[in-house]
Structures are given as C-alpha cells and as structure tokens.
Amino acid sequence: MIEWLFVPAAYLIGSISSAIIICRLMGLPDPREQGSGNPGATNVMRIGGKKAAAITLLGDMLKGLIPVYAANVLELPAELVAATGLAAFMGHLYPVFFGFKGGKGVATSVGVLLGFSWVLGFAFMATWFLIYKLGKISSLSALIASILSPVFAWFIAGNEAIVAASLIMTVFLLWRHKGNIQRLMVGEESSKAKG
C-alpha cells in the first residue's frame, strides 16, 4: 500500500541533520568535529550559541512532528502512525545522509510525541522542565522524561502501537545517553553535560 511509503519517507526526513546544516549555513564548525562531537542542539549551543542551538532544536523537533502529523491528518492506522514516528526518530539517530552517525534523539522524540498527541508531547516537556528546575541537569531531565513517556503514552494515547513506539524510543534514548548515565552515577554530570 502507498501509505507505507510514509515510513521510508519519515526515515529520510529524520536523516536530515539540522545541526550540521545549521552550522554550515551559519559558518560554524562541523558539530561532529567540535565540542562533544554530537550533532545535536546542546553541542551546537556549545560551539555556536543560543540562536544556532534554538534553530537546531526546532529543526530536530519538526522532522519528528511533520511526518507523524501528516500521517494523522490522512487518518492512517495507529500502527502506521507509530511506525512513521519511529522511522523519523531512527533517521535522526542513524542518518543515511551522514554516515549513520546522528544525534541522541531527544528533540526529535519530542516532535514525534507531539505528533502522536499534543498532550503527550507537552507532558514530556513539562516533565523535562520540572526536573531541570529542580536539578539543573539537562541530561537527567531528558532521561526521566523519556522513561516516563511510555507511561504517559499509555494513559494519554491509550494505544498499544503508540506505547510500543514510545518504549522503543526510550530504550534508544537511554542507550545513546549511556555516557551521561555513567557520569550521573558517579556524580560527575553537570548542567553543561556533553550532548
């Protein structure tokens, strides 16, 4: 069915690295070769400032949101909507256009969750904000919000496919943040954590 083209299309959209493109357009160093080496908003802020980071963050969120939103507008089955969101997320982590070396996925996962349900996406962001206000550690905020997202999905979306996609994203987010987790466990993670 032609609807299944949403999945590979979402992966290709997710593979567009906002960090690398924004840095090139703004004359900044390649984020894969500066700072932490991670092509994400946190590292872009480190090497290019808040404006570049904000644009990168927005771009990463939109590439998760747009494919899922389009799938919902066309009223595709929930399983296909979930697969579309997961494909966009995996595209960010393993971008075909950039040697399959992408970012950690937090912003894109937020975009996907917003596409699944605005309430679900805002629940993630509210959790991140609350934890950050309490601890001032961005990675910890993202990890806790990620761990809770499948629970939020269960109560808010109430669909097994959406819950499964949220759980899979959580597993990959935890894996991609393994260095942050190790530093948290020994008390070495800071508000300027590598990302």
Per-residue model confidence (pLDDT) at position 15: 96
What percent of the chain lies above the pLDDT cut of 90?
A: 79
Asked whether the predicted pLDDT for residue 1 surpasses 90, the reply is no
Q: Residues 25-46: what's their mean pLDDT? A: 90
Which residue from 181, 193, 192, 195 is spatially nearest to 43, judged by alpha carbons?
195
| pLDDT at res. 148 | 97
Position 194 scores a pLDDT of 45
Position 190 confidence tier, pLDDT thresholds 50, 70, 90 = low
C-alpha 108/C-alpha 169 separation (Å) is 10
Could you tell me what percent of the chain has a pLDDT over 70? 96
**Rounded to whole angstroms, how far apart are CA atoms 195 and 120?**
24
pLDDT at residue 195, rounded to an integer: 52
Query: Using CA atoms, how far apart are residues 87 and 15, in angstroms rounded to an integer?
Result: 10
Average pLDDT over every residue of 6-33: 94
**Is the pLDDT confidence value at 191 over 50?**
yes
pLDDT tens per residue across span 120-170: 999 999 999 999 999 888 889 999 999 999 999 999 998 999 999 999 999
- Provide the CA 7 distance to its chain's centre, in angstroms: 17
Return mean pLDDT, the chain.
Answer: 92
Q: Which of 90, 77, 91, 56 is nearest to 1 (CA)?
A: 77
Identify the sign of the CA torsion 161, 127, 105, 92.
Answer: positive
Q: 């260095």: which residue's tokens?
A: 179
Task: Of 63, 163, 45, give the one whose Cα is nearest residue 109.
Answer: 63
- Its pTM stands at 0.92
Q: Which residue has 């990168």 as its token pair?
A: 56
- Token look-up 């894969």 returns 32
